[in-house]
A and B are shown apart, each in its own frame.
Chain A
Amino acid sequence: MMSEKNEFDFEGMDMDATREPFDGNDSYFIHRDYSNRLNRKLTFLDRKGLNSKFAFWSLIALTVIGFLFLVVLYSYNTFENTSLLIDEVNGLESAYLEVQLLSRVRNEAIGSMSTRSYLEELKERVPIETKPGDYKGITVTGGSRYILDLVEMIVNEPKILVRKLELRSNLGFPILPESNIPSNLSLELRTDLTVTGNF
């Protein structure tokens, strides 16, 4: 096939097989099959040709460039983007799980402390507000039982932090926690409190 191709000048392949090409008396024989082939109508694609080396290297170059851009480069970019996407998804998952965990911890802590809070009741006995802030110089005077209950409420109130507390009596000898001393004994509570804004 290659030898045939190489011997043909495709540009001038319009020779009729039955016609004598030479003026001399030389006779030649063309086999019928080959004669049919020679008589076959050649299309544009049959007649046109490319330099073999050029065609070979062009196709090699085309193959390499085609693979490089359409497969290798595409794979590289897509792989990189997919990896980045997976990293971002993992990062999102990690942040999401941490948010869930922290929300649960916060809600449980706040829920637990809020149910134990009696700040509204305390506010009626001590000059403080429910809004967050520091309340300094609070002084309350009363009977020993009343003041002790008040101290217990302040200490057990989850929304309040005691910055300073001082408990004294007008006698200097209050009896705690129980007293048989007459009711004219009074205790003085001086305290600085902070109402938290955390919950």
Chain B
Amino acid sequence: MVDVNLYSRKKRVSRLKYSLIVLLIIVLLVLGSRFFVTQAFETRLRQVSRMKGYLFDNTGTYLTGNLKADIEMIYNKKLEYTAMRNKLSKQVNDLRTHVDSKSVEMDVFRTIEAYLEDENAMKTIASRIQFESGVGNSFYYLIFEGDDVSFPTPESTPTLLAKPSVRGNLDFAELYSLQLVDLEVGGHDE
């Protein structure tokens, strides 16, 4: 009987040439992939550059393509603008506080003036006007014809809540009536 041994101890070998060809293909594939990835990111960067063009023009920045350098440059510029924003924000808040205080002050005097110009009275005589810490006080007299005395009313609608307090009414020879009013304006957290 013929003994046929198909087993071989010989190790299988690949030709160096084919191995190098496969290696070359792999290198090309890797480099090709890298190229496409690079192109994709560059396209995205160009999109950003185009979309935010106005911002770069106005802030004096531009994208160089070196991501790390660009990040640092934009970050520094952002810090600069953030500091500017904080400074402006403080200025605007100070202005707002100033305008609020001024508005209160003006409203107090306008309200006092509106009460002093009482449309029912013949004459107004102010004895004292005071203002402090957003609160105004006025002590004044209203002269009415005859004995027709009415409660103090302002000619126009006052801008602040006012508390007129009538201290008393006096008659003068049945021709005139005198009303003493102590007015307090503001400070009621309207």
Whether both chains belong to one complex is answered with: yes
List residues of chain A with CB under 8 Å of any chain B CB: 5-6, 9-10, 43-46, 48-53, 55-56, 59, 62-63, 66-67, 70-71, 74-75, 78-79, 81-82, 84-86, 88-89, 91-93, 95-96, 98-99, 102-103, 105-106, 109-110, 113, 151, 155-156, 158, 161-169, 172-177, 196, 198-199
CB-CB < 8 A to A48: which residues of B?
A: 15-16
Contacts of B15 in A (CB 8 A): 5, 10, 45-46, 48-50
Q: Which residues of A contact B99 (CB under 8 A)?
A: 109, 113
Interface of A is mostly: helix
List residues of chain B with CB within 8 A of the CB of A59.
19, 22-23, 26
B76 to chain A, nearest CB (A): 10
Instruction: Supply 9 A–B pairs (Cβ within 8 Å), ascending by A.
Output: A46-B17, A85-B67, A102-B85, A103-B88, A106-B92, A155-B105, A161-B101, A169-B127, A177-B124
Q: Smallest Cβ distance from B17 to chain A, in angstroms?
A: 4
B88 close to A106 (CB less than 8 A)? yes
Residue of A nearest to B101 (CB): A161
Category for how many chain B residues contact A = 35 or more
**A168 adjacent to B128 (CB under 8 Å):** yes
Across the interface, B74 reaches (CB within 8 A) one of A46, A50, A62, A89, namely A89
Find A109's partner among B20, B22, B30, B95 (CB 8 Å cutoff).
B95
The answer for the CA separation of A4 and B82 in the assembled complex, in Å, is 74
In the bound complex, do residue A98 and residue B116 qualify as a contact, i.e. CB atoms below 8 Å apart? Answer: no
Tell me which of A56, A176, A196 has the highest count of chain B C-beta atoms within 10 A of its own C-beta.
Answer: A176
Find chain B residues with CB under 8 A from A155 CB: 105-106, 109
